[in-house]
Chain A
C-alpha cells in the first residue's frame, strides 16, 4: 500500500488555467505538507497543516490555496497558473512533533505552457 499518494503524477496545462493536485496519506499522521522542487532540484516548503489547520505558509502567492478536508488529505489548488509555477510538487506527512521523519509522495510534475 502506498503511504503517501498524489494525483496526478504529471500535469500539463496552459497559462491562466486553474488546477488541483490531490494528496492522501494512510499512515495516520496528523501533519501534512506541500513542498515545491524547482528545475534545479531545490526543495522548499510551501505549507504545512496539522489536524486540518494551517500551521506554515511560507510566503506563497495567494493563487495557491491548500485545502484539508480531513487529516488524511491535503489538496493543493492553483489559480491562474503561470510559467514559473512549473515544478515538481511533493506532498509529505509526518507525526506531530519535532524531529520526526517526513514521508514523501512520488511528486506531481506540473508543466505550464
Chain B
C-alpha cells in the first residue's frame, strides 16, 4: 500500500543553520505531496504542497520539490529560527482521493 518514510528525529540545530528533513514515498499513480507542521499543543497546519512531478512547494522560507524519479519530497530551509521548532509531517494523498497518509513526523529543535 501507499506509505511515507521520514527521517527520524529529533533534528537539533542552531539558529540560522540549514535544514533538511528527508521524505520518501511509495505510491501507485500520481499522489499529491504535503508537508504539515505541528507546533506544541496545536493541531496540524499545512506548510506547503506539490501536486505533480517537478512542482516546488514553498512557504515561510521552507521549500520542497516533488521528485518522481527518486520518489522524494525533502523539506529544506536555508536559515532556521527558534520559532520553527515543531514536529514536521510529510504526507501524501493518493491519486483522486482526499485522505492523507502521514509519515511518522520529525521533531525539529532550534536553539539560539
Contact = CB atoms under 8 A, between A and B. Distances in A.
B100 to A, nearest CB: 6
Interface string B88-105: 010001011111111011
Given A42-B105, A43-B89, A43-B105, A56 B43 contact: no
B105 A102 contact: no
Interface bracket on A: 20 to 34
Interface bracket on B: 20 to 34
Interface in B57-112: 87, 89, 93, 95-102, 104-105, 107
Nearest to A107: B43
Contact of B104 (A4, A40, A98, A101): A40
Contacts of A56: 99
A4 B43 CA distance: 10
A91 to B, nearest CB: 9
B46 A97 contact: no
A27 B45 CA distance: 15
B36 to A, nearest CB: 8
Interface string A41-56: 1111100100000001
Interface of A: 4, 31, 33, 35, 40-45, 48, 56, 90, 92, 94, 96-107
